[in-house]
Amino acid sequence: AQKRYASLRGLPAEAKCGAVIALHMNAGLMADLPSLEGSGAEGVGLFRTELQFLIRNRMPKRAELASLYKRVMEAAHGRRVAFRTLDIGSDKVLPYMKPNDEPNPAMGWRAIRVGLDKPGVLRMQLQALIRAAAGRPLTIMFPFITEYEEFIEARALTLREVHREKSLGHPVPERLEIGAMCETPSLAYAPRAFFEAADFISVGGNDLKQFFFAADRENERVRRRYDTLNLSFLSFLSGIVRRCDEVQTPLSFCGEDAGRPVEALALAALGFRNLSMRPASIGPVKALIRRISLAEVRAVLDEAQAAGDASARPRLMEWLSRQPE
Ligand code: PEP
Ligand code: MG
């Protein structure tokens, strides 16, 4: 199947209406980087940094992290890599950290909450990223930001580290882009100042969906109960698109749904112009986008909404079945 999509590798994900969707890939290992060439992804929209912390039985050293991040940036050959800072705590317990006994780990002391309350590890990771970038552009995004203040604090922490590196005489990134992941409904209602302050926003749909529907993503009994194409959810996502558009803040979507062709179509039709997915999904998503007009997909979504459908999926599938190959 990958062969079938190989001919599309150099082509844009351009819909019949002319809209172009940037397709990026998700990664978490050095070994993922060759897929950048193979898949035709424009960059790494989400680099999950947890693995480097989970595979060892001790805390990785700053120099080890810096060397890995540098190799990742080199392998990307100038393409953008969005490094997501450590999303750990609660369920993903580091073997060398005292475990927390929390009744609801997904809603517990995790990700940026740990980073801001006990900034030692986050600062070390930021230093490694800053050193690795040396003279190159650097893109950092913070996981699980739930309010404006957290973003401001995390950004200030980052700028302080850049300043510190500079004053120590180390080279610093040529450019710095600092974004936030939108993974909780609260952030979608943050003040306008948040949307202006973020250099970009990336929707972490896996978490956002679990909190929107109050359905644990790890619980087989409920995790597929609510459809991504549920119209309440689409209307909510559409609000995020609008808020970003108002202040012209770049928006992307990096949850697993971005890599599901029909879901990707719906997201693109809502206005997401940047999708990040596992490398194997790039071909199928691109092939489908190139076959259709997003304006027509949008019309189908609007029709489903007006009809009071629970999910846009039945109408969308029916419409798709009538589209020429
Ligand atoms: C997400 O929540 O959608 C996401 C991309 O992050 P993760 O799957 O690592 O929680
Ligand atoms: Mg997440």
Check whether 43 has a pLDDT greater than 70.
yes
Q: Can you give 226-249 as a three-state secondary structure string?
A: CCCCEHHHHHHHHHHHHHHHHCCC
What is the C-alpha to C-alpha distance for residues 230 and 236, in angstroms, rounded to an integer? 10
Residue 2's pLDDT band, with cuts at 50, 70 and 90, is low
Query: In this predicted structure, what is the pLDDT of residue 48?
Result: 97
Give SS3 for 324: coil
Q: CA 111 to CA 67: how far, in whole Å?
A: 23
pLDDT digits (tens, 9 = 90+) for 74-129: 999 999 999 999 998 766 778 888 777 888 999 999 999 999 999 999 999 999 99
The runs of H, that is alpha helices, within 9-57 are 34-39, 51-54
Q: What is the pLDDT of residue 53?
A: 93
Lookup: tokens for 60: 């990785």
Of all protein residues, the one whose alpha carbon is nearest to atom 1 of ligand 1 is 204
Q: Where are the alpha helices (DSSP H) in the chain?
A: 2-6, 34-39, 51-54, 62-75, 111-117, 120-133, 148-167, 185-188, 192-197, 205-212, 231-246, 261-270, 279-291, 294-307, 313-321
Task: Tell which atom from ligand 1 comes closest to the C-alpha of 46.
Answer: 5
Condensed to tens digits (0 to 9), the pLDDT of residues 174-197 reads 999 999 999 999 999 999 999 999
d(CA 72, CA 30): 6
Ligand 1, atom nearest to 205 Cα: 3
Per-residue confidence band for 45, with pLDDT thresholds at 50, 70 and 90 = very high
Residues 21-30, mean pLDDT to the nearest whole number: 97
In this prediction, residue 18 carries a pLDDT of 97
30 and 71 in contact (C-beta within 8 Å)?
yes
Kindly report, residue by residue over 127-168, the tens digit of the pLDDT: 999 999 999 999 999 999 999 999 999 999 999 999 999 999
115 class by beta-carbon count within 10 Å (0-12 exposed, 13-18 middle, 19+ buried): buried
Residue 287 · residue 5 · CB < 8 Å = yes
Is the full-model pTM beyond 0.90?
yes
The whole-number pLDDT of residue 4 equals 79
Say which residues have a Cβ less than 8 Å from residue 299's Cβ, sequence separation at least 6: none
For residues 61 and 171, what is the distance between their CA atoms, to the nearest angstrom? 19
Counting from 1 in the atom list of ligand 1, the atom nearest the Cα of 206 is 3
HSE (side-chain half, CA atoms, 13 Å) at 14 = 7
Q: Which residues contact 47 (CB under 8 A, 6 or more apart)?
A: 26, 27, 28, 72, 81, 82, 83, 84
Q: How far is the CA of 11 from the centre of ligand 2 (A)?
A: 30
Cβ atoms of 142 and 154 within 8 Å: the answer is yes
Amino acid occupying residue 313? R
**pLDDT recorded at residue 94:** 83
Ligand 1 pocket mutation, candidates 207, 210, 218, 223, criterion most atoms within 8 A of CB: 207
| Chain-centre distance for alpha carbon 218 | 19
Which residue ranges have their beta carbon within 6 Å of ligand 1? 46, 48, 87, 183, 204-207, 254-255
pLDDT band at 256 (very low <50, low <70, confident <90, very high): very high
How many residues does this entry show for the chain?
Answer: 325
Question: To which H or E segment does residue 7 belong?
Answer: none
Whole-complex ipTM: 0.99
